[in-house]
Structure 1
């Protein structure tokens, strides 16, 4: 878990798509009929806006010693050009129901083009 407040090799397994799916399902089951009143959010810890998504994904995967697919599919990671990140966010909203996404203060300015692409969607 992220109880230590850091993202490292020990916590990265909790950030997989499968792990998130299990957690969202638990919330849905627990919430029952109240789920329609709940807005799901996620704090993205791994943001890397650049022209090459593969370069960013592979670099992060190497750093954490995990498969690139794990990073590419993790809802905690947003990597690549703004258009790809916008598409990923829309797909994640559809898959998990995340309608509120949080990025760190250090990523706010670089994330602005993504926000512009998502405006009104």
Structure 2
């Protein structure tokens, strides 16, 4: 059980031009989503730049990275970018960090930086958080975590913990991860905002999405708006998950759920 209110994010990283990107940002805001979140890959828009442009086109929408691959940048560079965006957005920027998804090593090679071992990447993530908070103490930090070492780091230093699990992960498996986080976080646990990402959502998700992501699991939410809302309410009651992000391709299909639950 948690007393954190629901909030919702839309994850997007592609647009043909500035008009399309700013139009998307305004639509995300108008539909009641809290955040527009930009992934960190060389096949998508540069996350800091895209977040800045989205912020200039909106007034209340928060913007963030989901999630920045900490090994691909120096901690000081991330802190510099973050404090700049934090100031220029009026505090609307949220820094989402991870230790690098499986294909982030290829991006690191293309950028000419050393990816490092798992232990080195976690250490880089920890240092990035420390330097960022030294530069902007009140910036909100999200850490994507699944394994024990990352969960331990997130338990100590994050404001939001996003469970980095595949869409097919069952609620029982999610509960086991959160039990582990509870043990690691101790007294901090109830202060943590818990988040999960939906790969697809809606009454009738397209076949390509179901084929790609699967038909069952916590990352696939299918049903009427009320059925989806009821599922999320139950998950918040049983698991404590209150921050839900969704692939922006399902922005409109999921909007009725946002209308029902955002801020409650």
Return the TM-score normalized by structure 2: 0.33
SS at match of 2:237: helix
Q: Which residue of 1 aligns with 2:239?
A: 96
Q: Which residue of 2 aligns with 1:80?
A: 223
| 1:17 Cα deviation after fit | 1.4
Give the gaps of 5 or more residues in structure 2: 1-100, 104-165
Distance in 1 (CA, whole Å) between partners of 2:167 and 2:263 is 32
Q: Would you tell me which structure has more helix in proportion to its own residues?
A: 1
Poorly superposed stretches of 4+, deviation over 2 Å: none
| 1:16 Cα deviation after fit | 1.1
Distance in 2 (CA, whole Å) between partners of 1:117 and 1:75 is 20
Distance in 1 (CA, whole Å) between partners of 2:260 and 2:196 is 19
Aligned residues: CA RMSD: 2.6
Distance in 2 (CA, whole Å) between partners of 1:16 and 1:119 is 24
| 1:46 Cα deviation after fit | 3.1
Pairs aligned (count) = 99
1:44 aligns with 2:44: no
Change (3 A) 1:28 1:16: same
Q: Which residue of 2 aligns with 1:106?
A: 249
Per-residue displacement from partner, 1:12-52 (whole Å, max 9, x unpaired)? 65x111111111111111001111211000001132324xx
